[in-house]
Chain A
Amino acid sequence: MLNYAIRRLLMLVPVLLGMTVIVFMIIRAIPGDPAEVILGEKASPQSKEALRQELKLDEPLYVQYGDYLGKLLSGDLGKSIRSKEPIATEIGPYLAATLELTAFAMLFAIVVGVNAGIVSAWRQNSWFDYASMLIALVGVSMPIFWLGLMEQWIFALELKWLPSIGRANPRDPIDAVTGLYLIDTLVAGRFDQFGTVLKHLVLPGIALGTIPMAIIARMTRSSMLEVLRSDYIRTAKAKGLSQLGVIYKHALRNAFIPVLTVIGLQFGLLLGGAVLTETIFAWPGIGRYIFDAISARDYPVIQSGILIIAFLFVLINLLVDLLYAAVDPRISYK
């Protein structure tokens, strides 16, 4: 198991190396010039040329790439063109903000999606089944930006139940240690702030979690339907087990493996795909950080940001693969 994990982590190296090449090429293929974006259109050609030299943008691509890779291998993510700050320190809070949001969104998606899927399968063709599968269908087809705006309109503007934007109350700043505000406030014992942070998470979390929730619900339902027809479920019933015992002890664990795959993939997708949600809810996350960097042609930030997301994506999927073995004794890694 440990050997397998280490081997998989080593296999990450060529994957990430490939990522660096692709990202490096693609962002340089985008029209636009960082020097012009930074200095403005009216800057003189001389000053633009000077800046290009300073940023080493005048070197051939392979020299630039070699330079970038060399620094990367020594653990240096580079500096932002705009802020001149090291990306490694700058990106931390953004990453934490996104992690908190995606974790909350996935928690919502898993709890609601899995249970809706279970009940739908158990009561197949009931009104609950039809209703939840209709919601799931609407859920996957709903544009996030529209859902986000509707949430803000109804729950923030009209009902005034929940805050519409941001991560916390700006007049009551949070002492960030980990950058995950829920944890920071709990550790500091500030339960009032914890509540505020939680309230700020609800609307963007639901907006971001709706699509995965719908996908998980449909996956759980079809997987459960298959498992509920199996012989060992009949055995469990013949033993005199209660419905809940049959479902949660025998059926769900067997039905969970394909659901686990979907959860891993969705989690990874959300990490990089939260740009829309982060923009609508003014969430200072990594999606917006990279998006802004793209607009500013801040090459190092784009490269490092995407690399980190790719790394997390692969890491989560490795974790899912290892979880398979924990759920199913028939799967073992050598």
Chain B
Amino acid sequence: MAPSLLELTDLHTHFATDRGELPAVDGIDLTIRSGEIVGIVGESGCGKSVTSLSIMRLLPEPLARYAGGSIRFKGEDLLRAKEKRMKQVRGNEISMIFQEPMTSLNPLLTIGEQIGETLRVHRPVGRKDAAAKAVEMLRKVGIPRAEGVAKAYPHQLSGGMRQRVMIAIALCCEPELLIADEPTTALDVTIQAQILDLMKTLNRETGTAIMMITHDLGVVAELCERVVVMYAGKIVEEGSVHDILTDPRHPYTQGLIRSIPRLDEERERLYSIPGQVPRPGAIAQGCRFAPRCEHAMPICGEQLPELIACARPAHRSRCWLNTAQEVAN
């Protein structure tokens, strides 16, 4: 097994609001190994984006506060790292791509400049070499007529092309970890498949680990080896893609899977999990999913279950049902 590249231990990220300090990420443990593709799944507001921005330390401090835990990257705790060190990490050792390719590029700079800039920040290369490398990166991410595109401005490209450019920017310094925050959500389905394909190929070729943040289990099935399901700032289930998709143990994961439209079933209405993700701070005690759960028991409202192994050691779930099953066995 490859050594762990990134290790989040009991990460707490809080936000100062008018209603006091609220936990957006509430005690997350997560490990990503070199070269691995891990999916982070959950609805909007479950804390997956905050987790990724915490790793990059890009949240607006002091509005956001890292209230506890650690983020170990190759053994170094990024939460204790100085800003100067973080600048070396960002874009160089850990890169990030975002959901909105339409607005994530600077409209006033050419594509070539925006790729070359990253290189020039982190490597001792001249303007010319950076420009040449930018064209090379554009080719690598499958952009035709790369020389022409390098001289183009973002508004001259389509959404899919822009996301490829974002990937080129992210990968030009050969980072060890790529955080992709819903990179395909804003794209057409066919373009989505192309981008996922590209990410998979690049992962194989360069060995860059990918942390794939998404709400789409289809994307996870396509791309990832391991999945972490988040709900209201906590991990509720994690395991291999196969285990999670074929044998989900947490009612929330089961709900997510049931709400995927299927071609081989006739249904009047698509299933949807009733209710909404609770707002941070609205959770008093017990399991956070209990108010929306169809299996809720008295204990669910009183005590938060632990994340424990079920069926297989690597498949863990945070649900009283599992505990009950284990006792029964």
Residues of chain A at the chain B interface (Cβ within 8 Å): 230-232, 234-242, 245, 249-250, 253-254, 327-330
Contacts and interface: CB of A to CB of B under 8 A. Distances in A.
Given A239-B169, A240-B90, A240-B91, A232 B105 contact: yes
B317 interface: no
B121 A238 contact: no
B107 to A, nearest CB: 6
Contact of B153 (A234, A235, A254, A329): A329
A232 to B, nearest CB: 4
Q: Pick from B89, B106, B153 the residue with the most CB of A within 10 Å.
A: B106
B104 A234 contact: yes
Contacts of B303: none
A217 to B, nearest CB: 22
Given A240-B87, A240-B89, A242-B87, A235 B105 contact: yes
Interface in B155-203: 155, 166, 169
A127 to B, nearest CB: 15
A253 B58 contact: no
Given A231-B100, A235-B104, A328-B108, A241 B117 contact: yes
Contacts of B95: 238
B140 interface: no
B235 interface: no
A328 B108 CA distance: 6
B118 A240 contact: yes
Given A234-B98, A330-B153, A239 B118 contact: yes
B259 interface: no
B122 interface: yes
B91 A238 contact: yes
B103 A230 contact: yes
B121 A239 contact: yes
Given A231-B103, A236-B106, A330-B153, A241 B121 contact: yes
A235 B106 contact: yes
B122 A254 contact: no
Given A240-B89, A240-B92, A241-B121, A234 B107 contact: no
B96 interface: yes
Nearest to A235: B104
Contacts of B96: 238
B100 to A, nearest CB: 5
Contacts of A232: 103-107
A330 B155 contact: yes
Given A328-B107, A328-B108, A330-B107, A235 B166 contact: yes
B121 A329 contact: no
Nearest to A257: B108
A249 B113 CA distance: 11
B104 A239 contact: no
Contacts of A254: 106-108
Contact of B108 (A235, A240, A241, A327): A327
A241 B83 CA distance: 11
A144 to B, nearest CB: 36
Contacts of A239: 90-91, 117-118, 121, 169
Contacts of A240: 87-92, 118, 121-122
B56 interface: yes
29 contacts: A232-B103, A232-B104, A232-B105, A234-B58, A234-B98, A234-B104, A235-B98, A237-B90, A238-B56, A239-B121, A240-B87, A240-B89, A240-B90, A240-B91, A240-B118, A240-B122, A241-B87, A241-B91, A241-B117, A241-B121, A250-B109, A254-B107, A254-B108, A327-B108, A328-B108, A329-B107, A329-B108, A329-B155, A330-B107
Nearest to B106: A232
A228 to B, nearest CB: 10
A224 B88 CA distance: 26
Contacts of A234: 58, 98, 104
Nearest to A328: B108
The 3 closest A-B pairs by CB, nearest first: A240-B91, A240-B90, A239-B91
